[in-house]
Homo-oligomer: A and B are copies of this chain.
Amino acid sequence: MLPKKAKNIFYAQSGGVTAVINASAHAVIETARKYDCFGEVYAGRNGIVGALREQLISVSQEAETELAKLKHTPAGAFGSCRYKLKSLEENQREYKRLIEVFEAHNIGYFFYNGGGDSQDTAYKVSQLGESLDYPICCIGIPKTVDNDLPFTDNCPGFGSVAKYVAVSTREAALDVASMCESSTKVFILEVMGRHAGWIAAAAGLAQQRAGDAPHIILLPERAFDQVAFLQKVQATVEREGYCVVVVSEGTRDAQGNFLADAGMSDAFGHKQLGGVAPVIAAVIKQALGFKYHWAVADYLQRSARHIASATDVAHAYALGEKAVQLAAEGVNAVMPIVVRDQDSPYQWHLEQVPLAEVANIERKMPEHYIDEEGFGITEACRRYLQPLIQGEDYPPYENGMPVYAHLKNICVPQKLGAFELA
């Protein structure tokens, strides 16, 4: 009897990209080669959309030298998307299409690398075996700079943003401190974090001594208290000569309105934010008259592979590897997670949780991570964050610039007709 033909793998990146999601991709590709049970590795062009459109990138057609660069290349090398599958009841057409594509290309394994919304999609796909009688092994691989997935110690992508924000805050604070006597008194850095303040909180790691920046961290977890805020800015400038504020893009007023609102929404219905720093600057200028400067890190923070955390890269790789190992063992509908054994020295191992429990749960900052005043982080928070930015993992450079992967992204020939997205 001939052995059953090895099933192919479909891997896709989803949602906002990170500095280390390609490290997970790299792990999936490398690890899959070690098992006979896997055939080809296909990557979805632009995530799950690539499956629906039958745009399957043939990873084996890439040069080995370029694939090797994935581990140190930021962003999504195969393209990502913001596209959330509806429930099977609401949109059976899309699930049927997925099955058609999977069958046409002998796909038996689905790895979905993303955040909360994506793990929800992964869960739905994992149920196709039961609901639509198409057996598929589906494993979620966690990723999100927002650090808001449940169960896992942290989410790959977050540690590197945290490091970028902490380093940038320390550096900019030195700049402001050296000029404050005759120039800028208040510096405001806006960072990502729509619902949770994890990224802004990480700026707290810039502090070494009493009085160090950041002096104020504005978190989405606390309604913006303008009076208390202005008092603290004033007091800090009087005491230190300057004041550094790090503000989450998702900071809201007491009524729950975002302080900044560009008035656009993305495909998930999230409001597109950006630009709370100038709002805060205007508030300070009007009330206190201080000279200010502000910066908005935006995509720079989540793509900053040049200052990635080695711990974060290690997690991203290990979780991708573990996902493939689980699939090889025949496990379905789980997401591998990082479990912390101890803070210092940091020790961790991997486990897995059912996708059914992960989907659509958003992890907030614990209350005891925010200090009493609401403008800073506690020692407990610092102990949690510190290991996640440990270690540098520099990309190679050529001509003064980092060398990043440049894939051909050639799709395998299509076998089915076109498909219109909902």
Chain A contact residues, CB within 8 Å of chain B: 13, 16-17, 19, 46, 49, 73-83, 163, 166-168, 170-172, 174-179, 181-183, 187, 189, 205-206, 208-209, 257, 259-261, 264, 266-268, 270-272, 274-275, 277-279, 281-283, 285-286, 291, 293-300, 302-307, 309, 311, 386, 389-392, 394, 397, 399-402, 404, 406
List residues of chain B with CB within 8 A of the CB of A386. 399-400
Task: Give Cα A187 to B296, complex, Å.
Answer: 13
Q: Pick from B294, B298, B309, B404: contact of A400, CB below 8 A.
A: B309
* B279 pairs with A267, CB closer than 8 A: yes
* B298 pairs with A294, CB closer than 8 A: yes
Task: Give Cα A16 to B175, complex, Å.
Answer: 8
- With both chains docked as a complex, state the minimum distance between the C-beta of A27 and any C-beta of chain B, in angstroms: 18
Q: What are 19 sample pairs from A and B whose C-beta atoms fall under 8 A apart?
A: A46-B181, A74-B174, A74-B175, A75-B171, A76-B179, A167-B402, A171-B304, A171-B306, A175-B302, A208-B406, A266-B282, A266-B291, A268-B279, A268-B282, A270-B286, A272-B282, A294-B298, A296-B296, A309-B400
A187-B299 contact given A74-B171, A182-B81, A205-B401, CB 8 Å threshold: yes
* A278 pairs with B266, CB closer than 8 A: yes
Taking A170-B402, A205-B401, A293-B298 as given, write out 6 further A-B residue pairs in contact, using a Cβ cutoff of 8 Å, ordered by the A residue number: A75-B171, A175-B302, A189-B300, A208-B406, A272-B279, A389-B399
Q: Pick from B167, B206, B397: contact of A392, CB below 8 A.
A: B397
* B272 pairs with A81, CB closer than 8 A: no
Task: Give Cα A305 to B168, complex, Å.
Answer: 9
* B306 pairs with A404, CB closer than 8 A: no
* B391 pairs with A172, CB closer than 8 A: no
A178 (CB) vs chain B CBs: closest residue: B76
List residues of chain B with CB within 8 A of the CB of A406. 208-209
- With both chains docked as a complex, state the minimum distance between the C-beta of A355 and any C-beta of chain B, in angstroms: 23
Task: Give Cα A146 to B73, complex, Å.
Answer: 30
* B400 pairs with A77, CB closer than 8 A: no
A166-B401 contact given A17-B179, A175-B74, A299-B295, CB 8 Å threshold: yes
* A272 pairs with B267, CB closer than 8 A: no
* A299 pairs with B175, CB closer than 8 A: yes
Q: Pick from B206, B279, B402: contact of A266, CB below 8 A.
A: B279
A275-B274 contact given A170-B402, A306-B307, A400-B390, CB 8 Å threshold: no
* B274 pairs with A267, CB closer than 8 A: no
Q: Pick from B16, B74, B176, B307: contact of A307, CB below 8 A.
A: B307
- With both chains docked as a complex, state the minimum distance between the C-beta of A220 and any C-beta of chain B, in angstroms: 16
List residues of chain B with CB within 8 A of the CB of A261. 267
List residues of chain B with CB within 8 A of the CB of A257. 267
